[in-house]
Chains A and B, each alone.
Chain A
Amino acid sequence: MINNRENMSVSERLISSRQNRQLDEVRGRMIVTACALIMIAASVAITIFLGVKGLQSFLVNGVSPIEFLTSLNWNPTDSDPKYGVLPFIFGSFAVTILSALIAAPLGIAGAIFMTEIAPNWGKKVLQPVIELLVGIPSVVYGFIGLTVLVPFIAQFKSSGTGHSLLAGTIVLSVMILPTITSISADAMASLPKSLREGSYALGATRWQTIRKVLVPAAFPTLMTAVVLGMARAFGEALAVQMVIGNTRVLPESPFDTAGTLTTIITLNMGHTTYGSVENNTLWSMGLVLLVMSFLFILLIRYLSSRRKV
């Protein structure tokens, strides 16, 4: 074989390598396409499965979808069972929006600090900090929240524990901070240099440049970062479950306990039997979560389409 190759003329060698390359080309394309198809098939299968399972409580068990989405009364084990999940939908939105309100300013400011104010040492310090925050498992966030945050919040309440919407919000805002910061930092860093130079050339100060030129230019991407963080917050179950109290009533203040769609699913899933109404309504809650994440994706798409730079 080796002798053969040595005996080959230059043109023969070229032709054989081109054949190899063509084979390589085909093989590579097949592997990559197969991987992509597996991904597509998996997400389509999950969507269909969740759709079928989630609709069962309405179609088979006769739970009214309107009652399901608008009633405040959740009591599936009563002799006269009630299946209203509005308190949990509200709880999910409340922790998500409140945590985004805390994490978005912090994350975006951190990103500006990293890219504009102190690009050298700021990045050196903040980058590992963010990576560390991403790496901490959610159960650890929940555990820290339960042991540190909950007793702390309890001091400000007249009675009871510190389990509250507020505790859930704070835990979640720390959890989504890295998502928001890193995507925002990428957005700021990818702005063309000409924007900064043009602004400085007009005599603007650094802060004026950041406030009037860079942030508006990166705004759609910054919002995408916030929405991605919110999507993560909306789906988080474990850490929230440990600190929020998981009650079935609407919270009247951030110091009250609440429940979210995810925490009610994880709390009840193991206790219910497959095919029972209780189990099916949990699947329906899962379907609500899926629909919500589709809406988040649509929102991100819309924001991306508005990107100016």
Chain B
Amino acid sequence: CGNAGESKKSNSDSAKGEEKASGSLTISGSSAMQPLVLAAAEKFMEENPDADIQVQAGGSGTGLSQVSEGAVQIGNSDVFAEEKEGIDAKALVDHQVAVVGMAAAVNPDAGVKDISKDELKKIFTGKIKNWKELGGKDQKITLVNRPDSSGTRATFVKYALDGAEPAEGITEDSSNTVKKIIADTPGAIGYLAFSYLTDDKVTALSIDGVKPEAKNVATGEYPIWAYQHSYTKGEATGLAKEFLDYLKSEDIQKSIVTDQGYIPVTDMKVTRDANGKQS
């Protein structure tokens, strides 16, 4: 009885004031993006109690496939849809919600903090095999890779290695596992998003003297970064549009996005297209 009265009251309230978002929305895709989108969704649902947003993580490929099929309203991906085979990118609308920077991370014992891009390439293609060749300790280099189809790997190969194929090394999918292996193994090197570089368990390498920091990514000086995309099939409508606008709002970009180690899209002074051309 009391409940009914209350709900009636809130209904009339929302009718009077600004329209509150309602309905349900399913988002799937990139597991790297899930914490970010989930945090925003939780805040959104707090402000709009009638809205129900589910954020699933199944990988960028799954997200793109599902949004193309219409199984979910938003598909998150850490690569451009154009880069994935089997996806009709023209039918999808790209919403760039954040930028993620990535760094080559090494075990702190290696004694190397700054290398040139050329040296980085030689490390990952197996031409440099020991840290002492770069002025570090006499430790053999152990590579930690990501799976072939992972977006993190694609970004690193494209912008850090200029497309060179990495030599074989332990392959792990989860960033936490990669970080643990690098931290535990003398001489290990891998690549991680900035959000995993918050402590000193691993050392993030500067490239050609440019530190892996948000401000260097924003100016385009630091090369290894990628957009975090939220794709909709056709223009976003209804709750999906409201949520994406919310995600791209100054408020969220300056709080949740930066808190989680991402770089707000609005901060970027350079842009990139699907072919990797920077302007």
Identify which of B62, B148, B184, B187 gathers the most chain A CB atoms within 10 Å of its CB: B148
Q: Would A246 and B171 be within 8 Å (CB), given that A75-B165, A267-B147, A268-B147 are in contact?
A: yes
The answer to whether A278 and B149 touch across the interface, beta carbons within 8 angstroms, is yes
B149, B170, B177, B187: the one contacting A272 at CB < 8 Å is B149
The answer to whether A246 and B61 touch across the interface, beta carbons within 8 angstroms, is no
A158, A159, A271: the one contacting B149 at CB < 8 Å is A271
Q: Is A102 an interface residue (CB 8 A)?
A: no
The answer to whether B187 and A249 touch across the interface, beta carbons within 8 angstroms, is no
Q: Is A229 an interface residue (CB 8 A)?
A: no
Besides the contacts A161-B170, A276-B85, A277-B86, what 7 more A-B pairs have beta carbons closer than 8 Å? A76-B148, A77-B154, A158-B140, A247-B168, A268-B147, A268-B148, A270-B61
Collect the chain A residues with CB atoms within 8 Å of residue B68's CB: 273
Collect the chain B residues with CB atoms within 8 Å of residue A249's CB: 168
Produce 1/0 per residue, A152-178, CB < 8 A to B: 001000111101000000000000000
Residue positions of A touching B, CB distance < 8 A: 74-78, 146, 151, 154, 158-161, 163, 242, 245-249, 257, 259, 264, 267-279
The answer to whether A154 and B185 touch across the interface, beta carbons within 8 angstroms, is yes
Q: Would A245 and B61 be within 8 Å (CB), given that A77-B154, A268-B148, A271-B147 are in contact?
A: no
With both chains docked as a complex, state the minimum distance between the C-beta of B112 and any C-beta of chain A, in angstroms.
16
The answer to whether B140 and A274 touch across the interface, beta carbons within 8 angstroms, is no
The answer to whether A160 and B187 touch across the interface, beta carbons within 8 angstroms, is yes
With both chains docked as a complex, state the minimum distance between the C-beta of A200 and any C-beta of chain B, in angstroms.
56
A-B contact pairs, 29 of them (CB 8 A): A76-B149, A77-B148, A159-B139, A159-B186, A160-B140, A161-B170, A245-B170, A248-B168, A248-B171, A257-B168, A257-B169, A267-B147, A268-B147, A269-B59, A270-B31, A271-B147, A271-B149, A271-B150, A271-B151, A273-B84, A273-B87, A274-B86, A275-B86, A276-B61, A278-B85, A278-B148, A278-B149, A279-B61, A279-B86
For the residues of B in contact with A, the DSSP-based class is loop
With both chains docked as a complex, state the minimum distance between the C-beta of B148 and any C-beta of chain A, in angstroms.
5
Collect the chain B residues with CB atoms within 8 Å of residue A269's CB: 59, 61-62
The answer to whether A78 and B165 touch across the interface, beta carbons within 8 angstroms, is yes
B31, B87, B142: the one contacting A159 at CB < 8 Å is B142
Collect the chain B residues with CB atoms within 8 Å of residue A76's CB: 148-149
For chain B, residues 33 to 75, give those with C-beta under 8 angstroms from any C-beta of chain A: 58-62, 64-65, 68-69
Q: Would A161 and B185 be within 8 Å (CB), given that A75-B148, A248-B168, A273-B87 are in contact?
A: yes
With both chains docked as a complex, state the minimum distance between the C-beta of B58 and any C-beta of chain A, in angstroms.
5
With both chains docked as a complex, state the minimum distance between the C-beta of A60 and any C-beta of chain B, in angstroms.
11
Separation of A44 and B171 alpha carbons in the complex (Å): 35
Separation of A151 and B186 alpha carbons in the complex (Å): 12
For chain B, residues 164 to 212, give those with C-beta under 8 angstroms from any C-beta of chain A: 165, 168-173, 177, 181, 184-188
With both chains docked as a complex, state the minimum distance between the C-beta of B209 and any C-beta of chain A, in angstroms.
29
Separation of A257 and B185 alpha carbons in the complex (Å): 15
B84, B165, B184: the one contacting A276 at CB < 8 Å is B84
For chain B, residues 70 to 104, give those with C-beta under 8 angstroms from any C-beta of chain A: 84-87
The list of the 10 closest CB pairs from A to B, nearest first, reads A270-B59, A276-B86, A159-B140, A271-B149, A246-B171, A274-B65, A267-B147, A160-B142, A276-B85, A272-B61
Separation of A261 and B170 alpha carbons in the complex (Å): 16
The answer to whether A159 and B86 touch across the interface, beta carbons within 8 angstroms, is no
The answer to whether B147 and A247 touch across the interface, beta carbons within 8 angstroms, is no
Separation of A276 and B59 alpha carbons in the complex (Å): 15
With both chains docked as a complex, state the minimum distance between the C-beta of A140 and any C-beta of chain B, in angstroms.
16
With both chains docked as a complex, state the minimum distance between the C-beta of A95 and any C-beta of chain B, in angstroms.
16
Collect the chain B residues with CB atoms within 8 Å of residue A259's CB: 171
The answer to whether B170 and A163 touch across the interface, beta carbons within 8 angstroms, is yes
Residue of B nearest to A164 (CB): B170
With both chains docked as a complex, state the minimum distance between the C-beta of A216 and any C-beta of chain B, in angstroms.
45
Separation of A278 and B69 alpha carbons in the complex (Å): 18
The answer to whether A247 and B59 touch across the interface, beta carbons within 8 angstroms, is no
For chain B, residues 206 to 258, give those with C-beta under 8 angstroms from any C-beta of chain A: none
The answer to whether A161 and B86 touch across the interface, beta carbons within 8 angstroms, is no
The answer to whether B149 and A268 touch across the interface, beta carbons within 8 angstroms, is yes
Separation of A275 and B68 alpha carbons in the complex (Å): 12
With both chains docked as a complex, state the minimum distance between the C-beta of A135 and any C-beta of chain B, in angstroms.
25
Residue of B nearest to A77 (CB): B148
Separation of A271 and B171 alpha carbons in the complex (Å): 14
Separation of A192 and B135 alpha carbons in the complex (Å): 73
Collect the chain A residues with CB atoms within 8 Å of residue B148's CB: 74-77, 268, 278
Separation of A264 and B85 alpha carbons in the complex (Å): 19
With both chains docked as a complex, state the minimum distance between the C-beta of B123 and any C-beta of chain A, in angstroms.
14
Collect the chain A residues with CB atoms within 8 Å of residue B140's CB: 158-160
The answer to whether A267 and B173 touch across the interface, beta carbons within 8 angstroms, is yes
Collect the chain B residues with CB atoms within 8 Å of residue A146's CB: 177
Collect the chain B residues with CB atoms within 8 Å of residue A264's CB: 147
